[in-house]
Amino acid sequence: MTTYFSKDHEWIAVEGDIATVGITAYAQEQLGDVVYVELPDVGKTLAQGDEAAVVESVKAASEVYAPLDGEVVEANVVLADEPAKVNEDPEGAAWFVKIKLSNADQLSELMDEAAYKTLVAGL
């Protein structure tokens, strides 16, 4: 499994043609306590940059953007009932969606962990 990061603070773990997408610990820290998560329906087709989910916290609402083109094959429905899980494990169990990739070439547009850490350090 290879993990990538987007400039919008999503992490993307790719295994075969399935990408698991969530928000980074940095994004979660900026949001604060997450109180609501809205997820897309399974079967929804997303284009890179489309809104893939919505996260609301006590501070703000924020969109989670699709880092890659593809079809939603699974949504983490646990988050609908337990949005606080995003606060506990944003880069693990609190993933948002799994997307079947339709354009793997887009992975080259994403950052590796070192590049993402450099980006965050500059913020």
pLDDT in tens, 79-108: 999 999 999 999 999 999 999 999 999 999
In the chain, the amino acid numbered 54 is: V
**Residue 55 located in a structural domain:** yes
**Residue 81 located in a structural domain:** yes
> Can you give the residue range of the structural domain that contains 23?
2-106
**Residue 97 located in a structural domain:** yes
Write 116-122 long-range contacts (CB < 8 A, 24+). 116/5, 116/24, 119/5, 119/7, 120/24, 120/26
Q: Summarize pLDDT for 28-61 with one digit per residue, the tens.
A: 999 999 999 999 999 999 999 999 999 999 988 9
Domain CATH for 47: 2.40.50.100
E strands, 1-123, are 2-5, 10-15, 18-23, 34-38, 45-46, 51-57, 61-65, 70-75, 97-101
Query: What is the number of structural domains in the chain?
Result: 1
In the chain, the amino acid numbered 34 is: V
Q: What's the predicted TM-score (pTM) here?
A: 0.95
In the three-class reduction of DSSP (H, G, I as helix; E, B as strand; rest coil), residue 115 is classed as helix
**Residue 111 located in a structural domain:** no
